[in-house]
Chains A and B, each alone.
Chain A
């Protein structure tokens, strides 16, 4: 080939082995940030689910004191959780949608549970314990539903 065909500073062209190594490194890096992005979402929603169990039990079985203690603790947990979530460095694709879906479904289940329970069965353990566990289900589903496949850098 004529030297005039060569660029002034030709970039390094990887050989097949180097190309395979680069592909492996790219996949590893993409997977690392992606895992980091999903890890905190799962932790956040799971923490919210656990707090929901406590809140529903406090409201349902704790009487007036339980209501105020539960709501006070809830306000602190929400403030700390929101600040913590905002500080996370990697955001996985679909994070906002997943948290929103979990929050909306939780709000409906929580609202129905509190309304029905306080109206019909205040203080009844056989209602409030299962109801508290059910209130966590939407958040746990949002947290642990499988994550979508990466289309840019498939593992």
Chain B
């Protein structure tokens, strides 16, 4: 193996795609986490309407995010109606920051090297 040849293992491992978060690679899960990142918490209806998903699709993605420890789901009652509220955990916020940093690095790969 040659470490300094373009396309070698060392080059490949430094590509920012390796910093992308596996859970957030799903566009829907990333949308849920992004919507939650702007608020302390949001209810199920707000998330569903913001992301424009069906109830079942959102439920499925929330379960996946909860299993990953990225969101915390609580249920309460308002005027005798059950309400599901979702909060981004510290782990979820950290994963989002890291994922966005990787995306920014990938986006910058397209910039022409005008300084050279």
Give me the interface of A with B, judged by CB distance under 8 Å: 1, 5, 11-17, 19-20, 22-23, 25-27, 29-37, 83, 86-87, 89-95, 150, 152-153
Contact = CB atoms under 8 A, between A and B. Distances in A.
Give the top 3 A-B pairs by smallest Cβ distance, nearest first. Answer: A34-B38, A89-B46, A16-B110
B39 A91 contact: yes
Chain A binding site: helix, strand, loop or mixed by DSSP?
helix
Contacts of B103: 14, 19, 22-23
A89 B42 contact: yes
A29 B78 contact: no
Given A22-B30, A90-B42, A30 B35 contact: yes
Contacts, number: 110
28 contacts: A1-B7, A5-B9, A11-B22, A13-B106, A15-B106, A17-B107, A19-B106, A20-B107, A20-B110, A22-B27, A23-B103, A29-B31, A29-B34, A29-B35, A29-B50, A30-B34, A32-B38, A33-B38, A33-B46, A36-B50, A89-B43, A89-B45, A90-B43, A92-B39, A92-B40, A152-B96, A153-B38, A153-B100
Interface residues of B, number: 37
B40 A30 contact: no
Given A90-B38, A90-B41, A91-B41, 17 more contacts: A13-B17, A14-B103, A16-B109, A19-B103, A23-B103, A23-B107, A29-B31, A29-B38, A30-B35, A30-B38, A32-B38, A34-B38, A35-B38, A37-B42, A89-B45, A92-B38, A150-B37
A130 B45 CA distance: 43
A86 to B, nearest CB: 6
Interface of B: 7, 9, 12, 17, 20, 22, 25, 27, 30-31, 34-43, 45-46, 50-51, 78-79, 93, 96-97, 100, 103-104, 106-110
Interface centre among A26, A36, A87 (most CB of B within 10 A): A26
